[in-house]
Amino acid sequence: MDQSPSQEKEDEKAPKVTSEESEAHGAVHDQRQTQHQDAKDLRAWRRWTALEKTQTILTFALCLTTALYTYFSYQQWQMMRASLTVSQRAYVGVHSLQMDLSSGQVLVMLENMGKVPAQDIKVSAHTSQEAEGKIRTSAHPTFEAGHTQLFPGTFKIQVPIPLKDFTPQEASNILTGRTTLYVAGKIQYGDGFGNPQTSDFAFRYVPPPHEGWTAIPIVTFAELQQTPPQKEGKGNEQ
Q: Is the pLDDT higher at 149 or at 168?
A: 149
Q: Which of 167, 94, 183 is nearest to 130 (CA)?
A: 183
pLDDT at site 76 = 76
Helix, strand, coil shares, percent, the chain, to 5: 40, 30, 30
pLDDT at 169 over 70: yes
Residue at 207 is within a domain:
yes
pLDDT at 184 over 80: yes
> What mean pLDDT is predicted for residues 78-104?
82
Contact between 94 and 110 (Cβ < 8 Å):
yes
Question: 225-230 contacts: CB < 8 A, separation 24 or more?
Answer: none
State the Cα–Cα distance between residues 118 and 124, nearest whole angstrom: 17
Residue at 32 is within a domain:
yes
154 and 105 within one domain: yes
Query: What is the extent of the structural domain holding 140?
Result: 92-220
Alpha helices in the chain (DSSP H): 5-13, 19-88, 168-176, 221-226
216 and 147 within one domain: yes
For 6-24, write each residue's pLDDT tens digit.
Answer: 555 555 555 555 666 565 5
pLDDT at site 235 = 43
State the Cα–Cα distance between residues 238 and 224, nearest whole angstrom: 36
pLDDT at site 66 = 85
DSSP state of 89: S
Q: Count H helices, E strands: the chain?
A: 4, 9
State the Cα–Cα distance between residues 42 and 174, nearest whole angstrom: 102
CATH number of the domain enclosing 145: 2.60.40
All residues at 6 or more sequence positions from 113 whose CB lies less than 8 Å from its CB, including other chains: 91, 92, 93, 152
pLDDT at 121 over 60: yes
pLDDT at site 35 = 65
Q: What is the mean pLDDT of the chain?
A: 78
207 and 115 within one domain: yes
For 186-223, write each residue's pLDDT tens digit.
Answer: 999 999 988 999 999 999 999 988 899 999 887 655 55
> What mean pLDDT is predicted for residues 40-65?
74
Q: Is the pLDDT higher at 50 or at 236?
A: 50
At residue 135, the 3 state secondary structure works out as strand
96 and 83 within one domain: no
pLDDT at 109 over 80: yes
Confidence of residue 237 (pLDDT cuts 50, 70, 90): very low
pLDDT at site 233 = 47
Tally of domains within the chain: 2
131 and 22 within one domain: no
pLDDT at site 153 = 85
Q: Is the pLDDT higher at 55 or at 231?
A: 55
